Structure 1
Amino acid sequence: MSDLRIRPAGAGDTAAVLDFWRVAAEGTSISDDEEGVAALLVRDPEALLLAERDGRLVGSVIAGFDGWRCHLYRLAVHPDARRQGVARALLEAAEERFLAHGGRRADAMVLTANERAQHAWRASGYAPQEQWRRWTKPLG
């Protein structure tokens, strides 16, 4: 994976990230728009990690830390780059970020029907926590 570069996204990456998620990500998020990505980058400029190979975006993960919990979102790998260690490298970079901030445990939101993603998360040492259920409420 020596040709893989992982870096934080910048404001100039917003359009490319949104285009990338349309191709590589499973499902959509309420924040998958320019305003959502811009707000993330203002709030936590190093949270959105991008993986590039030969200048091409091949992966992403949001590694958000709120001072209490380490949350992982939008882990996505381009279909042409899957099963090449991109997700693992992104998760390792996210975990290093969390440890540097004093994080103790990372959690991820994984779609129940996305079996490919569940395999990738398990392969990286994550496991479902069945006693918890996610509760949501749209704001605004």
Structure 2
Amino acid sequence: MNDLRIRSAAPADLDAVLAFWKTSAEGTSISDDRAGVERLVARDPESLLLAERDGELLGTVIAGFDGWRCHLYRLAVRPDTRRQGIGSALLAAAEERFVALGGRRGDAMVLDRNERARHAWKAAGYAPEPQWSRWVKPLLDG
């Protein structure tokens, strides 16, 4: 994993990210378009994290912070590189970002039908909240 690089997306990356999500992310969202991702990066330039090796996109996560809550979206890893720690590295980078911003708990949007994702989030320490359709993880004690 030493050669894995995590960085924030730049506007020049957005077409590649959108194409990546079509092959590597489960399901789509109405905001999975150029305008939606441009708004995200313009509002919070550090929120869309990319995992790369040798310049090749292997994973993404959106780590959004609204000043009160930390939200995780679009954790996706290229299928042929899964189970190599890429998702874990992306989540660690997102959680470090949240802590630096003063965030106290991360929550993730996870499709109920996506068993593989549910297992991955659980392995990362997140747990479903039965009263909500989200999974959460405290980032700081207390």
TM-score scaled by length of structure 2: 0.93
Q: Which amino acid aligns with 1:6?
A: I
Deviation of 1:23 after TM superposition, in Å, equals: 0.5
- Report how many aligned residue pairs link the two structures: 134
Aligned partners of 1:93 and 1:30: how far apart in 2? 26
Take 2:23 and 2:73, find their aligned partners in 1: how far apart are those partners? 16
Q: Residue 62 of structure 1 aligns with which residue?
A: 62
Q: Distance in 1 between matches of 2:47 and 2:92?
A: 13
Structure 1 position 19 matched with structure 2 position 19? yes
Q: Deviations over 1:27-56 (max 9, x none)?
A: 001110000010001000000000001110
Equivalent residue number for residue 127 of structure 1: 127
Normalized against structure 1, the TM-score is what?
Answer: 0.94
Q: Please name the residue that 2:9 is paired with.
A: 9
Residue 102 (structure 1) aligns with: 102
In the aligned structure 2, how far is the partner of 1:34 from the partner of 1:133? 26
> What are the within-5 Å matches in structure 2 for residues 74-93 of structure 1?
74-93=74-93
> Per-residue deviation at 1:131?
1.6
8 Å CA contact 2:14–2:37 kept in 1: the answer is yes
Confirm or deny: 8 A CA contact 2:48 2:61 kept in the other structure: yes
Structure 2 residue runs of 5 or longer lacking an equivalent are: 135-142
Q: 3-state DSSP class of the match of 1:107?
A: strand
Identity over aligned pairs, percent: 72
Tell me how far 1:133 sits from its aligned partner. 4.3
* Alignment pair present for 1:40 and 2:40: yes
Instruction: Please state how far the C-alpha of 1:124 moved relative to its aligned partner.
Output: 0.5
**C-alpha separation between the residues in 1 aligned to 2:38 and 2:87?**
23
Q: Distance in 2 between matches of 1:110 and 1:133?
A: 8
The aligned amino acid for 2:66 is D
Checking the alignment, whether the CA contact within 8 Å between 2:109 and 2:133 is kept in structure 1 is no
**Residue type at the aligned position of 1:25:** A
1-side partners of 2:88 and 2:29: how far apart?
A: 22
Q: Which amino acid counterpart does residue 97 of structure 1 have in structure 2?
A: R
Runs of 4+ that moved beyond 4 A? none
Describe the superposition over 1:83-130 as per-residue Cα deviations: whole angstroms up to 9, x where unpaired.
000000000000000000000000000000000000110110000001
Gapped regions of structure 1 (runs ≥ 5): 135-140
1:31 counterpart = 2:38: no
